[in-house]
Structure 1
Amino acid sequence: MNLVSIRIITADIKRLVHFFEKATGVTAKWSTDDFAELITSSFTLAIGSTRTLAFFGEGVAQPAANKSIIIEFLVENVDDDYRRIKVLTTDVVQKPTTMPWGNRSLLFRDPDGNLINFFTPVSAEAIKKFF
C-alpha cells in the first residue's frame, strides 16, 4: 500500500491553489475549475472546492475546519524557504527550529488554517532516514 495524495477541501480553491504554488514552487495541474493537484515525484497534494463534496454526500467534509493534521514537506533548506513563506502568510506558528528528532522545522498555516510543516533533516540520523 502507498499513500499517494492528501486532498484539502476549500471554499476558495483559486486562493488556496495559488498559495500552495507560491509556497512550494510547484505549478498546479487543473483537472476542472473545482479540482487541482500539485504533483511531486513522491506525493500529490490535491485541492478540491466544496462543490466536489456533492459526489460524496452531505456533511462528509468541512473546509477550513482542520485542527489535527499537519501536512509535511521535505525541503532542501527550510531557512531559505522561510524567507519566502513569511511573505506569503502572517500565520507562522514556529520559525525554523531544530527539533529533538533531528529535523529543522518551519510550521505555518495556509489561508484555510491548515497546519503546514516544511522541514529539512539536519542530524546524521535524520539525514540517513530521508536520504
Structure 2
Amino acid sequence: MKSQINLITIWTDDIEKMKEFYNQILGFEVKNDLENYVEFKNDGVRFAICMRDVMYEFSNEYKKKPSGQAFELAFPCETTNDVDESFKNLVRNGATSIQEPHNMPWGQRTALFADPDGNIHEIFAEIK
C-alpha cells in the first residue's frame, strides 16, 4: 500500500440533497452520476458521494449511524477578503453557518460551514 489518498467519499442517506449542495453551492462539476454514487471533477484526489446502503451487503459497519464530526474538507481561498466573501455566498446559497470568518493563531483566516448532512468544512486563506 502507498501512503497516498486517491479517493475521498462522503457517505450519505440523501444523495440528491448532497449532490445539489456540492454541485450547485460549492461548484463541483459532476463527472459521473450513477444515481447512488456521484463522482465530481476535482484536481488531485478523486472526490465522490455515495449512498450508505450501497455498502450494506459488504459490511454491517456501514449501517451504524455516524456520530460527531468525523472529517473536514478544507477549501483554499486566494485572499482573506475572499474568505469573507465566499463565506457570505455559501451561507446565502444554503450552506449552514458554523463559524464566521476569523483570524486563527496559526496565520490563517478561516470560516466554517456545514453541508446538508451536517459535515463541517472550512474555507481558509493565509494571512499576509
TM-score scaled by length of structure 2? 0.81
Unpaired runs of 5+ in structure 2? Answer: none
Partner-residue secondary structure (3-state), 1:46 = strand
Q: Distance in 2 between matches of 1:44 and 1:63?
A: 24
Aligned equivalent of 1:86? 91
Q: How does 1:1-131 map to 2 (within 5 A)?
A: 1-60=3-62, 62=64, 65-76=67-78, 77-89=82-94, 91-123=96-128
Are 2:9 and 2:50, in contact at CA under 8 Å, matched by a contact in 1?
yes
Deviation digits for residues 42-79 of structure 1 (CA, Å, limit 9, x no counterpart): 23321001232235311336466442322211233222
Cα 1:33–1:90 change in 2 (3 A) is closer
Q: Compute the displacement of 1:92 (Å).
A: 0.9
Cα 1:113–1:62 change in 2 (3 A) is farther
After TM superposition, the structure 1 stretch with the greater mean CA deviation from structure 2, 16-25 or 88-97, is: 88-97
Are 1:4 and 1:43, in contact at CA under 8 Å, matched by a contact in 2?
yes
Partner-residue secondary structure (3-state), 2:18 = helix
After TM superposition, the structure 1 stretch with the greater mean CA deviation from structure 2, 43-52 or 108-117, is: 43-52
* Superposition misfits of 4+ residues, deviation over 6 angstroms: none
Aligned equivalent of 1:129? none
Deviation digits for residues 74-131 of structure 1 (CA, Å, limit 9, x no counterpart): 23322221121111336311111111111111101111010111111223xxxxxxxx
RMSD of aligned alpha carbons? 2.1
Q: How many equivalent pairs are there? A: 123
